[in-house]
Structure 1
Amino acid sequence: MLFDTHVHLNVKQFDEDREEVIKRAKEAGVTHMVIVGFDHETIPRAIKLAEENENFYAAVGWHPVDAIDFTEKELAWLEELASHPKVVALGEMGLDYHWDKSPKAIQKEVFRKQIQLARKVNLPIIIHNREATEDIMTILQEENAADVGGIMHCYNDSAEYVPAFIGMNFYISLGGPVSFKNATLPKEVAKMVPADRLLIETDCPFLAPHPKRGKRNEPAYVALIAEKIAELREVPVEEIASITKENADRLFRLND
């Protein structure tokens, strides 16, 4: 049983064959997934898919690239949705310094507001970090994000930061890049993350793992990610599947 903790089955890239994609995921052993909504269009779709499918859950948040479009109205909307029985986390949220649509100061403000909301509604958070690690860490510390914890989504940063994030009650989630031939950082991380803090994800339709790299990613391919991590850690793939599902169940409180 595999748990893909970060999918975007709610985006237009799956509009023509979404049911077939879900079928392939189940055939590959993917029994659970979290569908992540990040704007006006994808958030309702995430919840709808979670409602329609057993063991599918939703996360709702506001992507940092679009922080400039975030207002108190969106914040109130997220708070309302947080009580939905299928919503298990807030996010993805964070900072993205690669794109310049939203100024850094606005991104930081929106990030802080969402962490504050997560603490209010007691839900874990899913962090998007692109070229902003130091500022991410500062804000997580200042906003007491450890109270709710969460996921460092599609972790592609240095292994040296891993202990600090774990110390702030975060899990480290690895995706397709761990399988890329030239990707040394995620491979190093995959070997050293404590077993009880490891998660797996596809971030589909993005970042398809080897040998599917360059194609549209889909949840079935999380099996390839689990296989690669098992190879790197020198353990059976069944062990990676088991511990990552157990970790996700614990983080999202699915056995409570």
Structure 2
Amino acid sequence: MIFDSHAHYDDRAFDEDRGTLLASLPANGISRVVNIGSSLETTRRTVALTEQYDFVYGTAGVHPSDTGELNDENFRQVVEALGRPKIVAVGEIGLDYHWDEPERPVQKKWFERQLMLAREKRMPVVIHSREAAQDTLEIMRACGAADMSAVIHCFSYGVEMAREYLNMGHYIGVGGVVTFSNGRKLKEVVQYMPLDRMLLETDCPYLAPVPNRGRRNSSLNLPHVVRMVAELKGVSEETVEQATFENACRFYGISGEES
């Protein structure tokens, strides 16, 4: 009954065993996966995965680090992908100031453009924000995000910033970092936030939890995240699984019934 709300199974890291691995997920308790578009190419590959696997859904969008490829003409590919039946959100979009390219004005332009597209389509958004806390929040506010549904994926800020997003009614994505010895900030956020605003995610193939840190990540590692969240919240693992499954179904507008 685990829902992986953010995965990248189109990544080259899965080229040798993608089919076998994905086919094994339902029998291992992973009942839903949302594969995330992060460029024009990965959005196309995500659409293909949603057509191949009943339990895989997808998003369409361009990660801030890839916004340099966008122009008015090719941006139509994102718009068209959002019309596919199992594409359930816009994302991942946002700001990433860890790298110098593309320039911040380019990132901001396409972040705003994709937020407004989500608003127009009345779709939820998956937000990537790295070393750009204040600008991300300000742009979301300016684009009317309080009236939208968003998840702040791979949340990396502290309780104060979490409070801002939670007060706007948004969700926070929690993954392998919560198991890291240096994941103190995220642990504090998990203790602070209500369980009904949490989504579980892998961001696979990245950020595998302890005890598999440094290896290729997959949805099969999510029980380690569940265990840590349950410990931090003082609830059962079953409670965490059930709550986060229902949260993700609600956020993405996906049925919780068996396929």
TM-score (norm 1): 0.97
- Separation of aligned partners in 2, 1:211 and 1:52: 31
Instruction: Report sequence identity in percent.
Output: 38
After TM superposition, the structure 1 stretch with the greater mean CA deviation from structure 2, 31-40 or 129-138, is: 31-40
How big is the alpha-carbon RMSD for the aligned residues of Structure 1 and Structure 2?
A: 1.3
What pairs up with 1:81-96 in 2 under 5 angstroms? 81-96=81-96
Confirm or deny that 1:215 pairs with 2:242.
no
Q: Deviations over 1:84-120 (max 9, x none)?
A: 1100100000000001120001100010000000011
Query: Match for residue 142 of structure 1?
Result: 142
**1:185-244 deviations in Å (ceiling 9; x for gaps):** 011111111121011100000000000000011111112111110111111101000000
Using the alignment, how far apart are the partners of 2:120 and 2:192 within structure 1? Answer: 33
Contact 2:175 2:200 in 1 (8 A): yes
Q: Larger deviation: 111-120 or 25-34?
A: 25-34
- Secondary structure, aligned partner of 2:75: helix
Show structure 1 runs of 4+ deviating over 2 A: 23-28
TM-score by structure 2 length? 0.96
**Structure 1 position 20, deviation (Å):** 2.3
- Could you tell me how far apart the structure 2 residues matched to 1:24 and 1:192 are? 34
Decide whether the 8 Å contact of 1:75 with 1:114 is kept in 2. Answer: no
Q: Please list, as runs of the form range in 1=range in 2, the aligned pairs for 1:201-240 lying within 5 A after superposition.
A: 201-240=201-240
In the TM superposition, residue 12 of structure 1 has moved relative to its aligned partner by 0.8
Residue equivalent to 2:124:
124
SS of match in other structure, 2:95 = strand
Residue identity in the other structure for 2:3 = F
**Could you say what secondary structure the match of 2:206 adopts?**
coil
Name the stretch that deviates more: 51-60 or 133-142.
51-60
* CA deviation map 1:167-193 (0-9, x unaligned): 223101101100001210011111111
1:15 maps to amino acid:
D
Counterpart secondary structure, 1:73: coil
- The reply on whether 1:161 has 2:161 as its aligned counterpart is yes
Count of residue pairs the alignment pairs up: 256
User: Which residue does the alignment assign to 1:9?
Assistant: 9
- Residue 3 of structure 1 aligns with an amino acid whose one-letter code is F
Superposed counterparts of 1:37-76, under 5 Å: 37-76=37-76
| Amino acid in structure 1 at the alignment position of 2:65 | V
1:73: how far off? 2.0
Distance 2:218 2:38 in 1: 18
SS where residue 102 of structure 1 aligns? coil
Contact 1:59 1:92 in 2 (8 A): yes
Q: What amino acid is the match of 2:186?
A: P
Judge conservation of contact 1:65–1:100 (CA < 8 Å) in 2.
no
